Amino acid sequence: MTMPMELLTGLALATAAVAGSVLTIIARALAVRWALLDEPVKGKLHRVATPRLGGVAIFLAYLAGVLWSWPWSRGEQVILLGGLVTFLIGLMDDLVRLPAFIKLAALALVTLALAHTGVVIHVVPHWELLNTVITLLWIVGVASAYNAMDNMNGLAAGIAVIASGIYVAVALQTYQTQWAIFAAALAGASLGFWYHNFRTGSIFMGDSGSFFLGFSLAVLGVMGGWSANPVKAWLVPILVLGVPLADLVYTVFLLKRSGTVRSWRGAIAYSGQVHLSHRLVRLGFSQAGAVLFIYLICLTVSLGALVLRGTTTMQTLLLLLQFCLILLLIGVLMQMTKRAARSRPPV
């Protein structure tokens, strides 16, 4: 007898969450034994050497969760293969720093494989090459933004839980069992790791985790048939991942305008304390407070994806406008408080 979609989704979530928590403990012990530690250096917030094999636990827990969606279609098999490739590339980057072009080449190859199986953003009818290029830009953009958000305890994993959770809810609304299970597995794996990362900061996910999660969240936005309306179909992943993307765009623009970096590639790869989370800390938030505040922003923006199904085109556009205004207000607030801090007289 076939199990209900909601039960399968719940089982995937619970399996991945339990596996993620247990595997994180094992990964932390192995990282300490093998001296695979993230050393504290200038530009980083942690003060002690910290294990960085959390991405291994996230990936394996995710695989445990998606087993509930077996058997897999050809497209789903390519998605899982792409996840494996991005995980391995990220793990290699954790062990021996890789040039950026290798990551880009890996994403390009995975995108071509996805396009071959039909997992691609359909923007222009009958222009498959252009659609493939747009899909590649989306995946690269989300992966870069997500990697940049992995800068405080619990931030990247918590955003993954929120984003995947919204994907689960929308997939259940639209009766997409496979996508719901895939998203639930990602949410559960991230949640199991988050418990150890946010609570104690005793392990980091590393590039193996952030690169894999960024790719997976981007592909979830592509592979779901979120709506027959093209505006709504585009808006769901934009709302879900809008905050990390906006943080990347704002930071890159700021770095270029200030002359801190010379190239756009340098601005994207810049690892200084210039992101939204860092700015909130400089405004007086604790690190945990900054992370929780960003959770709130992400949840506030992404909840709009849950009501898209019943909206008209005009209401959808208004929702997009609301999203843009929220991000604009945050940017204005950052600028105003920054100027206020500069003009504050010394005590």
How many angstroms separate the CA atoms of 89 and 50, rounded? 21
How many angstroms separate the CA atoms of 347 and 220, rounded? 50
pLDDT attached to residue 275: 85
pTM of the predicted model as reported, rounded to 2 decimal places: 0.92
Element (H, E) at 72: none
Which structure tokens are listed for 30?
């192995």
Which structure tokens are listed for 222?
């592509």
Rounded to 5 degrees, what are φ and ψ at 226?
-70, -30
How many angstroms separate the CA atoms of 164 and 241, rounded? 10
Asked whether the beta carbons of 13 and 185 are under 8 A apart, the reply is yes
How many angstroms separate the CA atoms of 75 and 79, rounded? 6
pLDDT attached to residue 346: 42
253: left (phi over 0), alpha (psi -120 to 50) or beta: alpha
End-to-end CA distance of the chain: 71
CA nearest to 58, candidates 253, 191, 175:
191
Which structure tokens are listed for 268?
């994207």
CA nearest to 165, candidates 322, 20, 10, 297:
10
Q: Give Cβ neighbours of residue 223 (< 8 Å, ≥ 6 apart).
A: 75, 79, 119, 179, 182
Where do the structural domains in the chain lie, given as residue ranges? 5-343
Which SS3 state, helix, strand or coil, does residue 38 take?
strand
pLDDT attached to residue 259: 74
How many angstroms separate the CA atoms of 323 and 302, rounded? 9
Element (H, E) at 129: helix 128-149
Q: What is the pLDDT along the chain (347 residues), one digit of tens a residue?
A: 478 999 999 999 999 999 999 999 999 999 999 989 887 766 566 668 899 899 999 999 999 999 999 999 999 999 999 999 999 999 999 998 888 889 999 999 999 999 999 888 887 777 888 989 999 999 999 999 999 999 899 999 999 999 999 999 999 998 999 999 999 999 999 999 999 999 888 899 999 999 999 999 999 998 877 777 777 888 889 999 999 999 988 888 888 877 777 777 777 777 677 788 888 888 888 999 999 999 999 999 999 999 887 888 788 888 888 888 988 887 776 676 555 455 554 43
pLDDT attached to residue 340: 47
Which structure tokens are listed for 297?
């922003």
pLDDT attached to residue 345: 46
Asked whether the beta carbons of 223 and 233 are under 8 A apart, the reply is no
Asked whether the beta carbons of 205 and 191 are under 8 A apart, the reply is no
pLDDT attached to residue 334: 65
DSSP string, 255-266: HHHHTS-SSHHH
Question: Strand 50-51 vs strand 37-38: parallel, antiparallel, or unpaired?
Answer: antiparallel
Amino acid at 151: N
pLDDT attached to residue 97: 86
Angle at 106 between CA 74 and CA 273, to 5 degrees: 125
pLDDT attached to residue 27: 96
Which structure tokens are listed for 183?
């998203």
How many angstroms separate the CA atoms of 82 and 133, rounded? 17
Q: Label residue 72 exposed, middle or buried (CB < 10 Å: 0-12, 13-18, 19+).
A: middle
